[in-house]
Chains A and B, each alone.
Chain A
Amino acid sequence: MKYKVVIIGGSAGSFQVVTKIISKLPKDYNIPVVLALHRLKHVRHGFVEALSIKANLPVIEPLDKENIKPGKIYLAPANYHLYVELTGTFALSTEEPVNHSRPGIDLTFATAGYAYKNKAVGVILSGANKDGALGLKKVKDYGGVTVVQDPSEAQMPTMPNAAIERTKKIDHILSADEIIKFLISLPKP
């Protein structure tokens, strides 16, 4: 099985894990990575720059209808929901916040899961709420691979726990280092 998208969701306590993951992904990593991370609505600048410093791959906040391409890391922009369309493009939305968040992790996961089916890999990291749990379940329902950061290691275990509880049969519960190894070992297109 060759995978076509990796979606990573995180909230409180996930920033360090995300930077660690993206700093370890090699330059030639050619599965697109989509980051749905909770962030302040009104702070548009700085986040993508902070991630870019650590990454070997370009980190981009996609524009509406932008094509999802390998070799790139995409960050959901502030104050928009980020959807993945069947056409392999992104779509943005300003619809009401989900779980008090915009971007909402559930929405990016559910739409990416729907679009990529068994070629999607969803990863839920640390967070102090339950966003992402339902989205990860959707990824599983559509045939994708589900990964959750080990709650005993996560700075905020609420989000990983919620995801594990909701999906029931999570494929992999891993430490941050194991997540990195896992993502690097995935068969690439």
Chain B
Amino acid sequence: MNPLLNEEIEISIAGVRQLNEFINKVYGVDLGCYALTSYKRRIVKFMERNDIRSLDLFIKRLENKEVFNKFLSCQSVEVTEFFRDPALWRYFRDEILPAVAKNHDHIKIWIPGCSTGEEVASAVITLQEANLIKKAEIIATDITDEILKGVVNRKYPLSKYEYSAANYKRYNPEGDCEFSKYTITDKNSFTIPESLFDNVTFEKYNYFDDFKIRGVNIIICRNIFIYFSSQFQEKIFEKFTSKLAFNGYLIIGNKENIEWCSDIARYSLVNDSEKVFRKTSP
């Protein structure tokens, strides 16, 4: 059963508010930052999985910090596939990376909301193919340690393989290379080799606090903004702006919209269909 379509658990807006107030009071985290419908969907999904039948019961269970941490981990939405939007990754390899490498010996890339790591793996494979992986430093973050514990294994269900390999081919149609070059496959899963992740570090970052990172050349943050309310989107965008170096790039999802935010004046849109922005004012 799909959570939003669950016929037994129906949560009202007042219920969501009550839940958020409780969490804010006990843990000091304001989950009111999330976009309502998808947040509600994650609440119901979590309740279902843990066989919790009512919101009151759920709130009671959340008194347990472990339960709360698990719930928080569920807020990071699994990224869909490797090389999602192949044209973006081609643009990344052919335009963004050469432009940054021309002026920098060291390329600093931040991937917030790395979730299950498909974007990180796509980035390191692309860097490898652009012969820039040794110059790169990739910082991948997400909101809980639990998520990061999962992603460091670089292990994926085999069901994701076929579509990812097809996407890779769309990204690299002219090359004779295959996705299998970057994967170790066994019976039920495939793994991205550790050697590709030499320059990747995983750190906890929750969007609320400050993150000690400066002078980032590229932020890859695709399909993360959609899960937040407009007000919070603007806050995150402001944080990103303060972390990006002059001429640094911000990449968001192709249907995401930050162009109403005031900070957008400091950027130029360099690729409209893939939503790539360059910070053109220091």
Q: Which residues of A contact B (CB under 8 A)?
A: 41-42, 44-45, 61-66, 77, 79-80, 83-86, 91-96, 98, 102, 104, 106-107, 110-111, 134-135, 138
CB-contact partner of B257 in A44, A66, A102, under 8 A? A66
Chain A residues contacting B37 (CB-CB under 8 Å) are: 83-85, 91, 93, 111
Q: What is the CB-to-nearest-CB distance from B256 to chain A, in angstroms, rounded to a whole number?
A: 5
Bound: A56/B70 CA distance, A? 49
Q: Give B83 Cβ to nearest chain A Cβ, in Å.
A: 10
Q: How large is the interface on B (under 10, 10 to 19, 20 to 34, 35 or more residues)?
A: 20 to 34
30 A–B contacts from the bound complex (CB under 8 Å): A42-B86, A42-B170, A44-B85, A44-B273, A63-B256, A63-B257, A64-B253, A64-B256, A65-B230, A77-B254, A79-B84, A83-B37, A84-B37, A85-B36, A86-B13, A86-B36, A91-B38, A92-B223, A93-B41, A93-B77, A93-B227, A94-B80, A94-B226, A95-B38, A98-B2, A107-B2, A107-B5, A110-B4, A110-B5, A134-B2
Q: B residues within 8 Å of A by Cβ?
A: 2, 4-5, 13, 35-38, 41, 77-80, 84-86, 163, 166-167, 170, 223, 225-227, 230, 233, 253-257, 273
* A96 and B78 contact, CB distance less than 8 A: yes
Residues of A within 8 A of B35 (CB): 65, 85, 91
The 6 A-B pairs with the shortest beta carbon distances in the complex, nearest first, are A63-B257, A83-B37, A94-B223, A64-B226, A92-B226, A93-B38
Beyond the given A44-B85, A138-B5, could you list 8 further A-B residue pairs with CB under 8 A, ordered by the A residue number?
A63-B257, A64-B226, A64-B256, A65-B230, A77-B255, A80-B255, A91-B35, A95-B38
Measured between C-beta atoms, what is the minimum distance from B39 to chain A in Å? 10
Separation of A86 and B35 alpha carbons in the complex (Å): 11
B78 contact set on A, CB distance < 8 A: 95-96
Q: Which residue of B lies closest to A62 (CB)?
A: B255
Nearest CB of B to A31, in Å: 21
A95 touches B41 (CB 8 A): yes
Q: Which of B13, B41, B77 contacts A94 (CB 8 A)?
A: B77
In this complex, what residue of B is CB-closest to A89? B230
- In the complex, chain B residues whose CB is within 8 Å of the CB of A91: 35-38, 226
Most buried by B among A91, A96, A135: A91
CB of A42 within 8 A of CB of B38, answer: no
Asked if A106 contacts B223 (CB within 8 A), the reply is no
C-alpha spacing A134/B37, complex, angstroms: 17
Indicate if the CB atoms of A93 and B2 lie closer than 8 Å: no
The distance in angstroms between the C-alpha atoms of A110 and B10, with both chains bound, is: 12
